[in-house]
Amino acid sequence: MLKIDDLRVSLEEEEKQIIKGLSLSINPGEVHAIMGPNGSGKSTLSSVLAGKDGYIVDSGTVKYDGSDLLETEVEKRAALGVFMAFQYPIEIPGVGNMNFLRTALNSQRKTRGQEELNAADFLKLVRSIAKDLEISDEMMKRPVNVGASGGEKKRNEILQMCLLEPKFVILDETDSGLDVDAMKLVSKGVNSFSSSSRSFLVITHYQRLLNYIVPDFVHIMVDGRIVKTGDKSLALHVEETGYKNFLQLGKEKH
């Protein structure tokens, strides 16, 4: 599904390489977790995959379902099924949540050559998802994320995911800022959504989340590279000992 090969990415504004030769392969149905110290480049990787500007790809390739992801327009990537839940979802005053969701869904459908969803069907769909995630009607009527708490914003991200039904999902610290109940709710949402054809890349600092969303692989990312890959027990190991053993690995690879 996704194949990243020796990717190197720098910032556009300053000459600073953030992703320094990262390779990763994700097959359909797999859940991959990435853990790593602050500033190691996890969000940068997600942003590059989602298509945010401000980065220069120095070398390497990213193939998504066989096509060159890095050459694909942001909105096209979304229509092809790439979805990133933002670490810090932004507020967009003046753009109503419902209008935004409906436009997003129908834009994607249009790009894929599918028929647009009518207002009634859309409403039914979005209401049932909101109900599962315990997002209030009042929240849905507001402008996108305006006045939402940190946890509410994260829940909105999951709502968007469930509505847009992507094939490849990046969760960038979706668990940060969630209380225990919200985390269960979100995990439930993700789990009910997962299938043999969907893949997840879950970025987190906490092993806790991985009890709910069980990963097939856990990668440790240090200084722009994956320095260790293991199964879910690797996350437990990190929880106990921190990253200090891995920092050394990052240096050795230079």
Partner 1 sequence: MNYVNTSDWYNSLRREFEISGLGIEKVSRRSEYWRKSNLDIVSDFSQDNSQIDLTNLKGTSLHEPDLIVHGDILESVTERNYQVLNIMDVIADEKSFAKDFFGRLEKKSQNIVPRPLARDNTLNPKVGYVFSLSDSFNKPLVIHNKTDTSVSGSFQRNLIVIKEDVEATIIETGNNLSVFNEVTEIYLEKNAKLNYLDLTGENNVSPKIAHKFCDMAENSSFNHFGLRLNTKATRSEIELHLNGKGISTSIANVCILNKKHHYSDENVLINHNAPECKSRQVFKSIIENDSTSIVRGKIYVASEAQKTDGYQSSRSLLLSENSKFFCKPELEIYADDVICSHGSTSSSLDRESLFYLLSRGVHKNKAKEMLAVAFISEALEEIEDESIKSALSNYLDVWISSFFHE
Ligand X SMILES: Nc1ncnc2c1ncn2[C@@H]1O[C@H](COP(=O)(O)OP(=O)(O)OP(=O)(O)O)[C@@H](O)[C@H]1O
Residues near ligand X (CB under 6 A): 11, 13, 18, 36, 38-44, 54, 87
Task: For residues 140 and 145, give the distance between their C-alpha atoms in angstroms, rounded to a whole number.
Answer: 9
Give the residue with the Cβ less far from ligand X, 42 or 198.
42
Give the residue with the Cβ less far from ligand X, 16 or 113.
16
Shortest approach of partner 1 to residue 228 CB, angstroms?
30
Closest CA to 218 of 3, 26, 9: 26
Closest CA to 202 of 188, 185, 190: 190
**Burial grade of 125 (CB within 10 A; 0-12, 13-18, 19 or more):** middle
Pick one of 6, 25, 52, 197: the residue that binds partner 1 (CB under 8 A): 52
Footprint (CB under 8 A) of partner 1, residues 129-158: 143-144
CB proximity list for 99: less than 8 A, separation 6 or greater: none
Shortest approach of partner 1 to residue 74 CB, angstroms?
4
Assess 226 for contact with partner 1 (CB under 8 A): no
Shortest approach of ligand X to residue 68 CB, angstroms?
22
Closest CA to 17 of 69, 63, 57: 57
Sheet holding 168-172, edge to edge: 82-85, 168-172, 199-203, 31-35, 217-222, 225-230
**Positions that interact with Mg ion (CB under 5 A):** 42-43, 87
**Positions that interact with partner 1 (CB under 8 A):** 50-53, 73-75, 77-79, 83-84, 86, 89-90, 92-95, 99-100, 103-105, 107-108, 110-111, 143-144, 160, 164
